[in-house]
Structure 1
């Protein structure tokens, strides 16, 4: 059992909350039983280490069984060690380390996708995690992140995805211009979500076509250069007194509208 919160092994895990450590090692941090379930169910090949307190393993026996089936050893620790490793105040007795496994853009577009998400300079971890989760729920084929978007392996992003990080391909560090070109060559219509765009309802019919949605920065949106590259810019209507929609909420609406439209055609 690991008992020393200051041991090199514990410190190495704790450092993964920092981007520099994640970049250096190619690893990232997972916390809680749900994250452990998801990685064991969908990407057990990426799991490097699984740490847990004895009481947590007793409470979450399904995680223990999944680890055993995957041939993954559970390293038992004290509560103090788990707290030292975790990024959150309440890690629920389970912490894991996994290998980052981004997908190459060429592989995503080689699969003839019908619904793609492109994030350009999305900076808030909670927003990015929720967009990835919404993309997964809406049946999107992949999420493409440009180089100016927050690291998807940031612990806050990972938590916000609630496991969707392991469910669909994620492209990291893509160039926006190249991504838009690839999308068009694959037969996707590139649509930007933008407050200065055309009325969403007037163009709803086009959502039945293969689509790449482009979402921009929370505060500034998309710059003129980005907007000049897309086929269409659309804005969601505001019927009440709200000043605007949160980025992740708007993205969820756009993605589900596409999912509904594409499935109606099918």
Structure 2
């Protein structure tokens, strides 16, 4: 650990880290920001090889000792900074005392799909909170891979990273240029491709037909537009989540959570 406290919010090192809130700078540097004790702890615990620098304020928070230890064990640079420096780096208005800079990575889609039994494909998903929540649900349901396809939001966007609460570091995450590429990789790996769509067959009918018990890749479309007819044609079948009450619809993350867990239950049944 560097014993000196970094105090200048305008220093080149601080500006370089702060630039990672922008997608073009993340791509140029091959780095991204991880904010908050929970996400940084999971990064250090599960993917320590990615960590470049941990910036943390001095304090007596319960997480401080554990993050210091994990950074030391993983060989990450640990920098003490003032609250002003941390605020200059972080994307959030009120950072929680720690921000890490980590190296981004690329997961080969075909290799990650091989042997998978449950894959979540997000296609044209733009909202970072939704994307992070779906990734977190996929992690909780035991998925083997999450794919960001088409013009979906960057998985290393600070809001996406934060909303996954560390799940980004628990399972492979890949990027596909199109839905055809993502669905094709899943199908080549032996998975059935199911599109979540309000025009599909009822989930109970699909479950009773045994559609969920084998290896499955779920496709979740854009929050506002859903999936087009040509998108649905890339799937083996379309399935809708029934609504029994008066709600007009479910948001993407909630629907994805139910469908992923239904599949996890069927595969384990």
Q: TM-score range by the shorter chain?
A: over 0.9
Alignment RMSD (CA, Å): 1.3
Structure-1 separation of matches of 2:45 and 2:157: 21
Q: Do the aligned residues in 2 keep the contact of 1:56 with 1:92 (CA within 8 Å)?
A: no
2:107 alignment counterpart = 103
1:5 alignment counterpart = 9
Q: Do the aligned residues in 2 keep the contact of 1:52 with 1:75 (CA within 8 Å)?
A: yes
Shift of 1:44: 0.4
Shift of 1:100: 0.7
Provide the TM-score with structure 2 as the length reference.
0.95
C-alpha spacing 1:49/1:250, structure 2 compared with 1 (3 Å): same
Q: Do the aligned residues in 2 keep the contact of 1:120 with 1:146 (CA within 8 Å)?
A: yes
2:255 alignment counterpart = 250
What is the number of equivalent residue pairs in this alignment? 263
Structure-1 separation of matches of 2:188 and 2:62: 52
2:81 alignment counterpart = 77
1:219 alignment counterpart = 224
1:122 alignment counterpart = 125
1:26 alignment counterpart = 30
Structure 1 stretches of at least 4 aligned residues deviating more than 4 Å after TM superposition? 56-59
1:197 alignment counterpart = 200
3-state DSSP of counterpart to 2:246: coil
Provide the TM-score with structure 1 as the length reference.
0.96
3-state DSSP of counterpart to 2:233: helix
Structure-1 separation of matches of 2:62 and 2:196: 46
3-state DSSP of counterpart to 1:229: coil
C-alpha spacing 1:189/1:10, structure 2 compared with 1 (3 Å): same
Structure-2 separation of matches of 1:255 and 1:134: 8
After superposition, the C-alpha distances for 1:185-236 in whole angstroms (9 at most, x for unaligned) are 2211100000111111111131011100000000000111111111110111
Shift of 1:31: 0.9
Kindly indicate whether residue 262 of structure 2 is the aligned counterpart of residue 262 of structure 1.
no
1:146 alignment counterpart = 149
After superposition, the C-alpha distances for 1:122-152 in whole angstroms (9 at most, x for unaligned) are 0100000000000000000001111310001
Q: Any stretches of 5+ residues in structure 1 without a counterpart?
A: none
1:14 alignment counterpart = 18
